[in-house]
Structure 1
Amino acid sequence: MRRRLINSTLAVVLVVIAVFGVSLVIVETRTISNSAQESVDSEALRLVSVVEGRLGGDGNVSREVLAKQIADHRYARIDIPGRAPIEIGTHPAGGVIEGRSAGEHGETVTVQESRSTVTREVGRTLLIIGAVALLAVVAAVLLAVRQANRLASPLTDLAETAERLGSGDPRPRHRRYGVPELDRVADVLDASAERIARMLTAERRLAADASHQLRTPLTALSMRLEEITLTDDLDTVKDEATIALTQVERLTDVVERLLTNSRDPRTGSAVSFDLDEVIKQQIEEWRPAYRSAGRAIVQSGKKELRAVGTPGAVAQVLAALIENSLMHGGGTVALRSRVTGNQAVIEVTDEGPGVPADLGARIFERTISGRNSTGIGLAVARDLAEADGGRLELLQQKPAVFALFLSTVAADSRREREGGKTIR
């Protein structure tokens, strides 16, 4: 590309120089020739005036007197009636430029100049024009090289950026080149890089969330299947299989919820549901793990609460809080339900040391953990809660008290509509 730009620029300059240079040479040659002819004619006319002045005065017209009136490189011949011709200078050889003028007394003055003088002047002019043309060509080459580098280097840089995007490096470079068209391409590439980076981040986040959220349900399902393989009691097999199927449905719901949340964190399918059933289901699922750790998990507070949300998402939030208490807390874990205003609140608390002071404000950030855990669980739990229009907060650090807030307005309105009442 650089070579093409240089060659095209140089070709344009050469064409311009050829067109204007030839025209200038023709014009200058004619100008120099005309100027030389006018100079010779003017010399002849001036010499006639001198001769007339002498003839009208003392009549002394001699070669010595007239020699001072003509340039050394010119030849002059003065013809006066009744006198011998007067010649001044050397008669030029070859082509000449001649000027002739006649006076009132019949005298004639002829002035000649060698055409080689004009030729030398034309040669000097051509030399100057050639030097200027050469300088123009050199300047054009330098400018063409500079312009080619200015255009080719950004294109090479943009090609490298596109190659980096194709190889999986989505970092935007934020380089601009001062050329609107190239800057527009750079803007598009940077925007594409940012979109690709967001997509890769979302995919990595989905993989991490799925790994974290599916770990416990898969472990529980594995235990159920082991129970089935170890028993010969048909009733026990049926019970365990029913529980396993329920857990598979929950796993499917978890996967769908994670996929939906990765595409649009604000997308939810909130419905009115029985909050007690979700709490009881989580307690039953986690009780074996707590029993193995020599701890207990209990339920307390207000019963028969209905809330608005996605049961599977609420179950995942509670599972994250219960698992967090199992890993980082101590003593008995209590799930307390209450109502405040138009919201249902589920508090999860334990008797452990609580949340460290330096982690309290950042406990819901990803990768933030008080121990060697992933730091993903609470962040995912908060995202799920917010996707359902609720919120998850840390109410107290020592002992730790986490609270899940869910709306009950829609549930109350639905219950009253089912009873034949309408709220306005």
Structure 2
Amino acid sequence: MRRRLIQSTLAVVLVVISVFGVSLVIVETRTISHSAQERVESEAVRLASIVDRRLLGAETVNAEALRDQVADGQYAVIGIPGQQPIEVGSKPPGDVIHATAKGGQGETVRVEESRSSVVREVGRTMLIIGLVALLAVVAAVLLAIRQANRLTSPLTDLAETAERLGSGDPRPRHKRYGVPELDRVADVLDSSAERIARMLTAERRLAADASHQLRTPLTALSMRLEEITLTDDLDTVKEEANVALAQVERLTDVVDRLLTNSRDPRNGSAVSFDLDEVIQQQIAEWRPAYRSAGRAIVTSGKRHLQAVGTPGAVAQVLAALIENSLMHGDGTVALRTRVTGNQAVVEVTDEGPGVPADLGARIFERAISGRNSTGIGLAVARDLAEADGGRLELLQAQPPVFGLFLSRTPPPKDREERQPTVR
């Protein structure tokens, strides 16, 4: 494209120069020829008037007397009746320009001038026109190169941006070129890059959340299956199988919630539920893991609390906190329930060293971890808590105390359903 732009621009300039250059040469050649002819005619008339004046004054008319009246490069022949022709100057060779004038005493004056002077002047004029045309061509080439670069460089950049988008690099460049059409394409590519970046971020976040949230129920399920393989007691097998089925249901709920959050992270399904049931479920699931680690997990506090939220999401939040205590904490892990205002609070604490002082409130940020972990669990737990109108806070750093705050007020839609319709 760059070469075609340069060639097309140069072709247009050459056509224009050819048309106007040839016309100008023709006009200038004619003008110079007419000017030379007029000059010779005026010299003939002037010389005839001089000869006429000398004849009237009875002065001598010869070549010596008229030598100074003829310009260099010109040749004059004066014919006087009854006398020999008088020649002044050297006769020019080759083609000549001539003019004849008559005086009042019957004399004739013929002035000749070599046409080579006209040719030389025409040559100088053509040289000047040629130089101007050459400068115009050079300027046109430089302008064409500049314009071609101005158009092709943005197109190259836009092609590279599109290629980067196709290769999975959705960073917008925010580069503009001063050409409205190209800037429009750049705007569209940048908008597409931002949308692709958001989509990739959401997909990566979903993959990270899924891998983290599915790991816990899968681990618990594998432990139950191991318990089944190690026992011959039919009652124990049935009990463990029932627990495993419950964990499979919880795993299904986790998958459904991940898919729901991937479409709309605020699309909660909050209901009123018994908080004790969720806590006891988590205690039962995590007790084998704590028993294997030589640690205990206990519960205390106010019983039979009704909270508002999604039971599966609350279970995932508690599982994240219990797993966090198992990995990073020490000693006994305690789940305490209490009421503050119109909220039910579940506190999870252990006897470990707690949260480092340099982390503080950043403990809920993604990729922030005090040890060699993913740093995703607490961030996901906070998102799940906030999705149903609750919140997750670090109440105390050392020893660590995490608090899950859940509303005790029924969801607005429940209240609306209970209200009678006013007609």
- TM score, norm. by length of structure 1: 0.88
Report the Cα distance in structure 2 between the residues aligned to 1:421 and 1:334, rounded to whole angstroms.
44
State the Cα distance separating 1:32 from its structure 2 match.
0.8
**Quick check: 2:290–2:326 contact (8 Å CA) kept in 1?**
yes
Look up the match of 1:35. Answer: 35
Alignment of 1:1-150 (within 5 A): 1-150=1-150
Q: Offset at 1:23?
A: 0.8
Counterparts of residues 3-402 of structure 1 (less than 5 Å): 3-231=3-231, 235-402=235-402
In 2, the alpha carbon distance for the partners of 1:13 and 1:367 equals 63
The whole-number CA distance in structure 2 between the counterparts of 1:376 and 1:308 is 25
Q: Give the 3 Å change call, closer, same or farther, for CA 332–233 of structure 1 in structure 2.
A: closer
Aligned counterparts of 1:37 and 1:266: Cα–Cα separation in 2: 99
Report SS of the residue matched to 1:404: strand
Count matched residues: 421
What's the CA shift for 1:316?
0.7
- CA distance 1:51–1:181, shift in 2 (3 Å): same
The one-letter code sitting in structure 1 at the alignment partner of 2:285 is E
Determine what percentage of the aligned residue pairs are the same residue: 81
Q: Quick one: structure 1 residues 67 and 279, their matched pair in 2 at CA, closer, same or farther if it must change by over 3 Å?
A: same
**Equivalent residues of 1:367, 1:374 under 8 A apart:** yes
Paired residue type of 2:114: S
Deviations 1:250-309 (A, max 9, x none): 112212222333344333233333323222222222222223333333333333333332
Aligned 8 A contact 2:337 2:345 in 1: yes
CA RMSD of aligned residues (A): 2.9
Secondary structure at the aligned position of 2:410 is classed as helix
Q: Give the letter for the 1:192 counterpart.
A: S
Question: Structure 1 residues 87, 134: CA separation in 2 closer, same or farther (over 3 Å shift)?
Answer: same
Which shifted more, 262-271 or 169-178? 169-178
For the residues of structure 2 that align with 1:74 and 1:66, how far apart are their CA atoms? 13
Tell me if structure 1 keeps the 8 A contact 2:270–2:411. no
Could you tell me how far apart the structure 1 residues matched to 2:16 and 2:221 are?
85
Note the C-alpha offset of 1:125: 1.9
Q: Which amino acid aligns with 2:396?
A: Q
- What is the one-letter code of the residue matched to 2:292? S
DSSP-derived class of the 1:392 partner: strand
Distance 1:87 1:104 in 2: 20
Q: Secondary structure at the match of 1:87?
A: strand
CA spacing shift, 1:415–1:74, aligned 2, 3 Å? closer
Report the 3-state secondary structure (helix = DSSP H, G, I; strand = E; otherwise coil) of the residue aligned with 1:68: helix
- CA distance 1:57–1:129, change in 2 (3 Å): same
Query: Which runs of no fewer than 5 residues in structure 2 stay unpaired?
Result: none
How many angstroms apart in 2 are the aligned matches of 1:292 and 1:202?
Answer: 37
Deviations 1:64-98 (A, max 9, x none): 23221221211223334454433222334443322
CA contact (8 A) 2:272 2:306 kept: yes
C-alpha separation between the residues in 2 aligned to 1:311 and 1:323? 18
Q: Which amino acid aligns with 1:408?
A: R
Mapped to 2, the partners of 1:189 and 1:333 lie a distance apart of: 52
Note if contact 1:261-1:384 (Cα within 8 Å) is conserved in structure 2: no
- Conserved 8 A contact 2:2-2:152: yes
Compute the displacement of 1:320 (Å).
Answer: 0.6
Stretch moving more, 396-405 or 135-144: 135-144
> How many angstroms apart in 2 are the aligned matches of 1:341 and 1:45?
126
Q: 1:70 to 1:256 in 2, by over 3 A?
A: farther
Residues of 1 paired with 2:35 and 2:411: CA distance? Answer: 109
- Return the offset for 1:26: 0.8
Note closer, same or farther for the CA distance 1:421–1:395 as it changes in structure 2 (3 Å cut): farther
